[in-house]
Structure 1
């Protein structure tokens, strides 16, 4: 079913529209030395007017990472990385980000 995210700027009290987001897949332990960083970019997208991105591809079980470019929106965090484990890529995964000037929160939504 894939992955979706929703970014809310709690300081502004509205969705974080136009935020660049990158989806990366973690390399297997045997591959990580070969790739250098251990992560492979799967896709990049930008949040819509409602702060949402849907239909991001989860192609396999394993460790995944969403990287949010929060520069200009957070006084302290120029980037937020959320690493999560996918057991069944056929399930829908929703990973929201609540962004504040000096903190952030996330959870697995539905």
Structure 2
């Protein structure tokens, strides 16, 4: 069962190769009024995941955003990228739940959903 210290996690999959997108930089922001405050940053591991954001830290309900540096990642793989960055904004309404923000990525498109 999740608690107030449950993490916010992400998982990025490269749908062109069918492999995890390892080494992709991601920043996590929280909205404070009209401003966005960076609260965490990291790079996906060999499985394309960031699993340790905000672990052990209390969270508040609010609006959050993950910014994925997709253009830089594609460039390191000598690939064309139509979307040089992807931002996923989500509402964290239940701080005691685990929030998983997946990104399915290709050279000319992306998709997301609320993961578990």
Q: TM-score, normalised by structure 2?
A: 0.83
1:2 and 1:90 in contact (8 A); partners too: no
1:4 and 1:52 in contact (8 A); partners too: yes
3-state SS of the aligned residue for 2:37?
strand
Residue in structure 2 matched with residue 35 of structure 1 by the alignment: none
Verify: 1:26 aligned to 2:31, yes or no. Answer: yes
Query: Moved runs in structure 1, 4+ residues, more than 4 A?
Result: none
Moved more, 49-58 or 86-95: 49-58
Residue 55 of structure 1, CA deviation: 2.4
Residue in structure 1 matched with residue 94 of structure 2 by the alignment: 88
Residue in structure 1 matched with residue 77 of structure 2 by the alignment: none
Unaligned 5+ segments in structure 2 are 1-5, 75-79
Residue in structure 1 matched with residue 3 of structure 2 by the alignment: none
Residue 107 of structure 1, CA deviation: 0.4
Q: Distance in 1 between matches of 2:13 and 2:97?
A: 24
3-state SS of the aligned residue for 2:83?
coil
Alignment deviations for residues 51-104 of structure 1 (CA, whole Å, 9 cap, x no partner): 000121272100000000001425201100000000111100111000011110
1:8 and 1:15 in contact (8 A); partners too: yes
3-state SS of the aligned residue for 1:90?
coil
2:70 and 2:81 in contact (8 A); partners too: no
Residue in structure 1 matched with residue 11 of structure 2 by the alignment: 6
Q: How many residues align?
A: 102
Q: TM-score, normalised by structure 1?
A: 0.88
Alignment deviations for residues 30-67 of structure 1 (CA, whole Å, 9 cap, x no partner): xx2xxxxx100001100000000012127210000000
3-state SS of the aligned residue for 1:95?
strand
